[in-house]
């Protein structure tokens, strides 16, 4: 009898231990199937960022929803990721209706959904992130969780993907709240306690993976300062050259090495002014193959820095700048047989939908395109002025002055 009691006590202890394990290590609720590679060995992730949708059902909403719906229909993703600045309505009920609106195309196909917050999800709505998580979770196949309560932000979590046989976790996806604005000025940065949580969870996954780093991709809204490592400063504006943002705004920038960096640079990347060591932590842990960002609505350049691919993604929404020129989604394809070499590409509104119903004429020209035009004019004017001054100085140097003689 004592042996039976000891056995039951042991079972109870094990059950309590399992129940107390952190949800952050890739756990899903019992009602949800784990993410799994398909029989063909592929797993496709559709990234939709900066939807900037509100409660108004107008032509701009119709365009954004058509882009999202058609992308899901044609690309057939295994997971959809909303990568921040998703719903920006005013007040709880409007925000609820807006979240339900943008989730609807995903729910119609019963596709798993992961979500991160951007700098505007709380700012514009006034609805706490914790409350918004609950609204997203009303969709049964939403995989977002609020994450640990004892670290900064809301929506810090990870999701594991099983092999096609469903016998082992072989890939990991990180989702982090990159915040909104820093007290020191500029955009927010991932906090030290978030980095510590990431490292601890990364180490746990490494142990689970037989001592090898678990191959991973990370999703967060705001890019990291190392994005500028893919660029180089230039003196004058021009095609493919943009003015930097904030602490980088004292010069123009262009892509440094086209052999390493693909895609377009259409505005100055907007990372935080403070480098809190997040990227260095990724390099140290050795598990992050790529990091996916939104925030910069017209950038889609990707490039590798110290083994980590930095991936910028253009906006979906029509209620923000870029107006009908650059809206699109990103598709990431993982290969079970080649985990460290994923592929990614952008799909444009024009390809997936066609002609915009809400944007016409000069409205199609983005704010950044106008700035580029203005900087181009200034650059030409500066060049002409410099040339004229040069010619004047040369003429003055070679000017022969009349000589006078004194008697």
> What dotted CATH number matches 18-363?
3.60.21.10
Listed by start position, the domains of the chain span 18-363, 366-397
Residue 296: the pLDDT is 97
Give the model's confidence band at 321: pLDDT under 50 very low, under 70 low, under 90 confident, else very high: confident
pTM across the whole model: 0.85
Confidence at 354, pLDDT banded by 50, 70, 90: very high
Residue 80 near residue 106, CB atoms below 8 Å? yes
Would you say residue 2 has pLDDT above 50? no
Estimate the crossing angle of helix 92-107 against helix 59-75, to 10 degrees: 30
pLDDT digit string, tens, across residues 31-78: 799 999 999 999 999 999 999 999 999 999 999 999 999 999 999 999
Residue 4: is its pLDDT beyond 60?
no
Tell me, what's the pLDDT at 323?
60
Stretch 199-223: mean pLDDT:
98
Residue 293 to residues 82, 170, 259, 269, 406, Cα–Cα distance (Å): 11, 23, 21, 11, 79
Which tops the pLDDT comparison, 56 or 8? 56
Backbone conformation region of residue 254, classed left if phi is above 0, alpha if psi is from -120 to 50, else beta? beta
- Quick: pLDDT tens for 280-291: 999 999 999 999
pLDDT at 256: 98
């Amino acid at each position: 009898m004592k042996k039976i009691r000891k056995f039951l006590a042991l079972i109870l202890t094990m059950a309590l231990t399992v129940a107390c394990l952190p949800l952050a290590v890739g756990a899903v609720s019992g009602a949800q199937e784990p993410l799994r590679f398909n029989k063909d060995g592929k797993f496709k992730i559709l990234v939709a960022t900066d939807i900037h949708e509100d409660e108004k059902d107008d032509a701009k909403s119709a365009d954004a929803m058509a882009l999202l719906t058609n992308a899901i229909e044609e690309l057939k993703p295994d997971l959809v990721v909303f990568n921040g600045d998703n719903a920006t309505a005013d007040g709880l009920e409007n925000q609820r209706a807006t979240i339900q609106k943008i989730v609807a195309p995903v729910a119609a196909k019963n596709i798993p959904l992961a979500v991160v917050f951007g700098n505007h999800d709380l700012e514009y709505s006034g609805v706490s992130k914790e409350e918004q998580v609950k609204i997203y979770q009303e969709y049964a196949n939403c995989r977002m969780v609020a994450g640990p309560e004892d670290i900064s932000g809301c929506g810090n979590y990870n999701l594991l993907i099983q092999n096609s046989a469903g016998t082992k976790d072989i890939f990991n996806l990180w989702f982090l709240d990159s915040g909104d604005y820093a007290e020191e000025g500029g955009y927010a940065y991932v906090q030290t306690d978030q980095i510590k949580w990431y490292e601890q969870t990364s180490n746990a996954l490494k142990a689970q993976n037989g001592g090898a780093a678990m191959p991973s991709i990370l999703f967060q809204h705001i890019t990291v300062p190392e994005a500028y490592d893919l660029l180089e400063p230039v003196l004058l504006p021009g095609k493919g050259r943009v003015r930097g943002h904030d602490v980088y705004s004292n010069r123009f920038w262009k892509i440094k090495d086209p052999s390493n960096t693909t895609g377009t640079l259409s505005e100055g990347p907007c990372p935080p002014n403070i480098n809190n060591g997040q990227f260095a932590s990724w390099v140290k842990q050795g598990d992050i193959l790529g990091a996916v960002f939104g925030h910069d609505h017209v950038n889609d350049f990707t490039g590798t820095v110290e083994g980590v691919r930095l991936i910028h993604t253009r906006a979906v929404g029509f209620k923000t700048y870029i107006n009908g020129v650059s809206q699109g989604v990103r598709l990431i394809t993982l290969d079970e047989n080649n985990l460290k070499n994923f592929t990614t590409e952008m799909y444009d509104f024009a390809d997936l939908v066609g002609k915009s119903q809400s944007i016409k004429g000069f409205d199609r020209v983005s704010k950044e395109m106008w700035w580029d035009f203005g900087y181009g004019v200034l650059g030409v004017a500066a060049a002409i002025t410099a040339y004229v001054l040069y010619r004047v100085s040369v003429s003055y140097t070679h000017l022969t002055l009349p000589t006078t003689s004194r008697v």
